[in-house]
Amino acid sequence: MDQEWPGVIGGGTGPRLDWRPVAGQEQDEVQRSLDERFLPSPVTGQRRLPIDMDYVRDVLLRLVAIPSPSGRTDHVMQVIGGELHRLGLPFEVTRRGALLAELAGSEAGADRTVVVHADTIGCMVRELKDNGRLAVVPVGTHSARFSEGARVTIFSDDIAGNYRRSGTILPLKASGHRFGDEVDTQGVGWDVVEVRVDEVVHCRADLERLGIQVGDFVAIDAQAVVTPSGFVNSRHLDDKAGVAAALGAFKAIVDHGVPLPVTAHLLVTIAEEVGLGASHGVDADVAELLSIDTSVVAPGQSSSEQTVNIAMQDSTGPFDYHLTRRLIDLCRAHDVPHRRDVYKYYRSDAASALEAGANTRAALIGFGIDASHGHERTHLEGIRATA
């Protein structure tokens, strides 16, 4: 017996359909018709633009070298603003410090926004200890396991003097010659690590004389290395590789003089790692929002370091059906290596935008990251595919 399937498929600009499934060849024809309407072929005349990977690589290495934990991002945003200026993209700075650039299109309305974030995970001083070391808490969500042994930069408020000090995050029992097997049996967590400051300090008063205070930022040094095989090993590839990819994509459009049918915005946020992200800065005319961020390369995941990875769902739920499959269709049409994936412990700028009420479709793509929020690694080909 035939069954009625009335309803609305899609929202906003999506088509309205009332249809009834039938059997056999007629049903196949109905499905093909639906596929054509919901999964359209790429626009005639589109072409895949070459990405200036020398530029992307240079921008990436400059960005990861600039400490920018959430809450202390002014320097890196000034550098990104300089790149936008060199590309000829007008931009504004929001009250909260995000950057919003624009590449004008020929028609008004139904704009597109690409969103990336320039803030990273980091730490903050919780206590000046009596032994001359620092207790810290994490900024953003990351495990102390991956910070043990990390080189850090400590920023005091006295920017007129020597406000940068170097140091190392160490477990409380850091000497095998002193503690033996206890080095391996001590716990993992922020309560069992401390920062050894590279100054002659033996007590709390010594730290105070240096101008170090509770609430000072502690940035984890990137220590970036690019291998001859194209791998990029560095802290904070999340999401500075995304920023570099986005700038590379906008540069390609500008360099080749490609006219855009609608206006494209580039939103660079500064608080994604603490959950705020694109909670502001999305223009009311934006119909589609694309977040570029890390993709999870790990056992049980489909993402790859050498491809662009299209998220079907993260911890906040599925991404927009139509936009996601449109991106997949474009990858197929232009031979862009890609994979689909689902992320369990993940959220991005897209979630912040939608939770703040942005009336837009949203999707997430990314470059594959091995050991995310730890000793991260990606590949230049994955960044190229993302751009």
CATH of the domain at 216: 2.40.30.40
Phi-psi region at 219: left, alpha or beta (left = phi > 0; alpha = psi -120 to 50): beta
Tell me: pLDDT of 314 over 60. Answer: yes
Same domain (yes/no): 244, 354:
yes
Specify if 225 maps to a domain. Answer: no
Dihedral in degrees, nearest 10, Cα atoms 15, 36, 115, 307: 160
Catalytic residue among 194, 272, 288, 381: 272
Q: What is the DSSP letter of 94?
A: -
Under the banding of pLDDT at 50, 70 and 90, the label for residue 19 is very low
For residues 260 and 89, is the Cβ–Cβ distance under 8 A?
Answer: no
Tell me: pLDDT of 8 over 50. Answer: no
Residue 29 has a pLDDT of 55
Domain of residue 171: give its range. 122-220
Same domain (yes/no): 130, 67:
no
Same domain (yes/no): 145, 167:
yes
Residue 37 has a pLDDT of 38
CATH of the domain at 291: 3.40.630.10
Same domain (yes/no): 144, 81:
no
Instruction: Please measure the distance between the N-terminal and C-terminal CA atoms of the chain and give it in whole angstroms.
Output: 49
Tell me: pLDDT of 30 over 90. Answer: no
Same domain (yes/no): 207, 256:
no
* 208 labelled catalytic: no
Same domain (yes/no): 113, 132:
no
**Averaged over 277-301, what is the pLDDT?**
96
Residue 33 has a pLDDT of 46
Q: What mean pLDDT, rounded, does the chain reach?
A: 90
**Averaged over 212-241, what is the pLDDT?**
98
For residues 66 and 118, is the Cβ–Cβ distance under 8 A?
Answer: no
Specify if 8 maps to a domain. Answer: no
Tell me: pLDDT of 14 over 60. Answer: no
Strands 262-269 and 107-117: parallel
Residue 158 has a pLDDT of 77
Same domain (yes/no): 113, 126:
no
For residues 251 and 101, is the Cβ–Cβ distance under 8 A?
Answer: no
Specify if 266 maps to a domain. Answer: yes
Same domain (yes/no): 245, 351:
yes
Residue 45 has a pLDDT of 62
**Averaged over 319-342, what is the pLDDT?**
97
- 40-54, 92-106, 123-137, 157-171: least confidently modelled range: 40-54
Same domain (yes/no): 207, 244:
no
Share of the chain above pLDDT 90, in %: 85
Specify if 286 maps to a domain. Answer: yes
Q: Cβ–Cβ contacts within 10 Å for residue 263, how many?
A: 20
Specify if 228 maps to a domain. Answer: no
Residue 31 has a pLDDT of 44
Name the domain boundary from 179, 195, 220: 220
Specify if 26 maps to a domain. Answer: no
Under the banding of pLDDT at 50, 70 and 90, the label for residue 137 is very high
**Averaged over 210-215, what is the pLDDT?**
97
Name the domain boundary from 220, 252, 283: 220
Under the banding of pLDDT at 50, 70 and 90, the label for residue 162 is confident
Q: 316-328: b or e for each residue (b if 16 or more CB lie within 10 Å)?
A: beebbbbbbbbbb
Residue 10 has a pLDDT of 33
Same domain (yes/no): 145, 132:
yes
Burial grade of 80 (CB within 10 A; 0-12, 13-18, 19 or more): buried
Under the banding of pLDDT at 50, 70 and 90, the label for residue 36 is very low
**Averaged over 90-94, what is the pLDDT?**
97
Under the banding of pLDDT at 50, 70 and 90, the label for residue 381 is very high
Could you give phi then psi for residue 15, rounded to 5 degrees? -75, 155
- 29-38, 82-91, 156-165, 355-364: least confidently modelled range: 29-38
**Averaged over 261-281, what is the pLDDT?**
96
Same domain (yes/no): 139, 285:
no
Name the domain boundary from 220, 253, 287: 220
Burial grade of 148 (CB within 10 A; 0-12, 13-18, 19 or more): middle
User: What is the number of structural domains in the chain?
Assistant: 2
Three-state secondary structure call for residue 107: strand
Specify if 230 maps to a domain. Answer: no
Specify if 58 maps to a domain. Answer: yes
- 26-35, 154-163, 246-255, 346-355: least confidently modelled range: 26-35
Three-state secondary structure call for residue 385: helix
Same domain (yes/no): 143, 248:
no
Share of the chain above pLDDT 70, in %: 88
pLDDT tens string 45-60 = 678 899 999 999 999 9
Q: Where are the beta strands (DSSP E) in 249-360?
A: 262-269, 286-297, 308-314, 317-318, 338-342
For residues 383 and 367, is the Cβ–Cβ distance under 8 A?
Answer: yes
pLDDT tens string 60-81 = 999 999 999 999 999 999 999 9
